[in-house]
Each structure stands twice: as structure tokens, then as C-alpha cells.
Amino acid sequence: MRLLLLALLLALAAPAWAAEPKRQVIIDDEGFAIPHLMLLEDPRVEVLGITTVSGNVWANRATAMVLRGLELLGRTEVPVAEGATFPLLNSEARTERWEALYGKLIWKGAFMKRWAEPTAQSTPPYHGPFDPVDLIGGNPKLKALKEPAAQFLIRMVRAHPHQVTIIASGPLTNLALAQRLDPEFASLVKELVIMGGSLAPRQVLEGKSASDFAREFVNTPRREFNIRFDPEAASMTAHAPWPKVTIIPADPSTATQLAPALVERLAKAARLPVAAFLRRMEPGFPMWDEIAVAVWLDPSIVTKSERLWYDFNTDFGAGYGDMLTWHDAYRPRLDEGLADVVLSVDVARMEALMAQALGER
């Protein structure tokens, strides 16, 4: 009787989420940053794995960053699978040819050698796709799986049918490859969350560092880096039979900024290894991927969204990689995708949610 009473008291004292099954997620991205920390540190979430892809950096560098991050967090049990090194068709040479015809891109990720004009953010070092990786904070001892990311995604989704959310915060190359390898792949996913695309962002924050990013959309409102890096993969992904898709385009990001005060708040909330990692981050950037993770963790932070049919432009013209959207009466009806597109979020609540995910109570 005493044991039964003790068990009952412990159950009543446990937080509400302790009785709920953990939400299963795979992170598909090109690096390691705050969104990864939010998911790895949240006790309500089970990260089944992290897959990497070329985007902001080449896939081999992204993989090393993820492995080192997991070591620092003491989460070495999380499997990592390296994904596509190159986009399906786009390349550095094709990007340079496109720029000669249609003008300079603000951000080119792994193809980036210099900013087109002075900016508050630092210029990242340029590397080739197979250059040796030597991270500033030390290289990982942890190894990635031998299995390519596309096959890992298929295996995990088939092992947990209709249970896994994929949060894709980089180019969509791995997802396109997985769908081509297994035509049932997308239909077995619970939800796909995409950080990518753009409708019509407007500057919200004041200050030079904020305008550095908002200016990108003044003349090119439908262009966004993750999609522009591999438009063919994005379009293939748009035509796959996902049960549910949520898209976080660039639009809500112009109201956000990883300010130094927010970094310090997150660091104070986090345990020591995470805090040290956070304090080494460069502030000043909009919180693109953080929004995607926060919306998945708590959809109630969304203040405006719209249900739209969508695809991405693959014509090698001025609109290459642009996001295409339609209301139902106007769509071409060529198996384009249907998604809930997030247009704005409650930024204060999102920042509080970030801090809570990292340990703030």
C-alpha cells in the first residue's frame, strides 16, 4: 500500500508533459545552432537524428559542426547522417553565370566569396566542397553514420510511420532524393516543416543590422536562400504527397533579431555547455530557423498565416528559385503542394519559448 501511495504521489508531482509520448523529429539542416539546441534540450522532444546538407556551408563542414555540437552537449547518442554535397542541378558556376545575367545575390552560402556591399555581418571564409575541415572550436571525435542522409530519412520514417516530423531548415536536396528513392516516403511522414521561400517581407526592426537583411526583399520579394540554392529539389519536394506541410518563409523573420541581450538570456537559462556555445555565436541575424522550431513546438505563437498552394520556379531566368503561390481558384492543378504558410509570429512569446526550451523556469 505504501508503495502504491508513493507511486501515486510521484505521478501527481510530475510535470504534465512527463505522461505524454515524446514528439519525434528529424532535423535536416546545414549547420548547428540555437534551433538544434531548442529541440535537443526540450524534454518533450525525441530527436531521432540529424541529417546535413550543403547550403550555408558544404555538407562535410555542416556534419563536423553537428558532431562537435553533440559532443559539447553530451548528446552523442543522436545519430548524424551526412547528406547531399551538391544541389541537384544548380552549381557555383551556374550561380555566377546567373548573376552576370540578372544581378548579384545577397547571400550565396557555400558559394559565397564576398558581400556585394558593406554589411554589419562578418564575411565567412570560403571553402571548396571537399576541403579538409578544421573547426575553430576543435574537430569532433564522434563519427557520422556510413548511411547517406536520404536513406537514413527513409529508414527512420518507415520505422516510425506517421509519427515523425521533419524540420527542414536548409536546402531541400535530401528530401527530394529520399522521395525519388522511395515514392511512399513523404506519405509516411507526420508533418514537414520548411524554413524557406518568401512572399513579401517588409522591414519591421529599425537599425542598420536589421535593414541589412530586409533590403534583400525590396526588389526581389519572392527570393530566399534555402530555395534558391537548390530550386529543383524544392520543386520536387513541393510535388510530394506530404500529409501536412507548414512553411515558414522569410516574411516573419524581419521582425526578429538575435540581439546580444537575447543571447545572454538564453545563456543564463541553459546548462553550462549550452551556455558556453551560445555566447560564442555572432549576434545580429534574424531568427529564421528559430521561428520554424518555435512554431512547431507551439503553433499558438503564430499571429497570421494563410493556407496556400505552392511551388518554386525552376526556369533559369530572373525568377529562378522564386516561390510561387496560389489561392485555390487560381492554381494550375499540376500536383503543386498545399501548406499553412506562416506570415507573422508573436516575437516576445517566441523568445520566451526559446528560453523555456533551454531551461528557463
Q: What is the pLDDT of residues 62-75, one digit of tens each?
A: 999 999 999 999 99
Residue 276: closest CA among 76, 137, 143, 78: 137
pLDDT of residue 17: 47
What's 182's DSSP letter? -
pLDDT of residue 237: 98
The 10s digit of each residue's pLDDT in 236-261 is 999 999 999 999 999 999 999 999 99
Q: Are 342 and 305 spatial neighbours (Cβ–Cβ below 8 Å)? A: yes
Domain containing 294 equals 20-357
**E strands, 69-213, where?**
80-82, 164-168, 191-195
**E strands, 146-244, where?**
164-168, 191-195
The 10s digit of each residue's pLDDT in 144-181 is 999 999 999 999 999 999 999 999 999 999 999 999 99
Task: Look up the CATH number of the domain holding residue 157.
Answer: 3.90.245.10
Report how far residue 244's alpha carbon sits from residue 187's, in angstroms, rounded to the nearest whole number: 9
pLDDT tier at 6, thresholds 50, 70, 90: very low
Burial category of 200 from C-beta neighbours within 10 Å (exposed 0-12, middle 13-18, buried 19 and up):
exposed
> Which position has the grid cell 545580429?
284
Task: Please indicate, yes or no, if residue 176 is contained in any of the structural domains.
Answer: yes
Task: Please indicate, yes or no, if residue 209 is contained in any of the structural domains.
Answer: yes
pLDDT tier at 117, thresholds 50, 70, 90: confident
Report how far residue 68's alpha carbon sits from residue 52's, in angstroms, rounded to the nearest whole number: 13
pLDDT of residue 3: 45
3-state secondary structure of 26: strand
* Interstrand relation of 302-312 and 323-326 (parallel, antiparallel or unpaired): antiparallel
pLDDT tier at 9, thresholds 50, 70, 90: very low
pLDDT tier at 211, thresholds 50, 70, 90: low
Task: Please indicate, yes or no, if residue 10 is contained in any of the structural domains.
Answer: no
Report how far residue 177's alpha carbon sits from residue 179's, in angstroms, rounded to the nearest whole number: 5
Task: Please indicate, yes or no, if residue 135 is contained in any of the structural domains.
Answer: yes
pLDDT of residue 83: 98
Task: Please indicate, yes or no, if residue 14 is contained in any of the structural domains.
Answer: no
pLDDT of residue 286: 94
Beta bridge partners of 166: 26, 192
Mean pLDDT across 105-121: 89
Task: Please indicate, yes or no, if residue 141 is contained in any of the structural domains.
Answer: yes
* pTM, two decimal places: 0.94
Task: Please indicate, yes or no, if residue 97 is contained in any of the structural domains.
Answer: yes
Mean pLDDT taken over the chain: 93
Domain count, the chain: 1
Sheet of 164-168: strands edge to edge? 80-82, 45-52, 23-29, 164-168, 191-195, 245-248, 337-345, 302-312, 323-326
Q: Angle between the 347-357 and 34-41 helix axes, to the nearest 10 degrees?
A: 60
pLDDT at residue 11 greater than cutoff 80: no
pLDDT tier at 216, thresholds 50, 70, 90: confident
pLDDT of residue 212: 67
Burial category of 173 from C-beta neighbours within 10 Å (exposed 0-12, middle 13-18, buried 19 and up):
buried
pLDDT tier at 209, thresholds 50, 70, 90: low
Report how far residue 239's alpha carbon sits from residue 59's, in angstroms, rounded to the nearest whole number: 25
Task: Please indicate, yes or no, if residue 203 is contained in any of the structural domains.
Answer: yes
Report how far residue 80's alpha carbon sits from residue 78's, in angstroms, rounded to the nearest whole number: 7
The 10s digit of each residue's pLDDT in 19-68 is 689 999 999 999 999 999 999 999 999 999 999 999 999 999 999 999 99
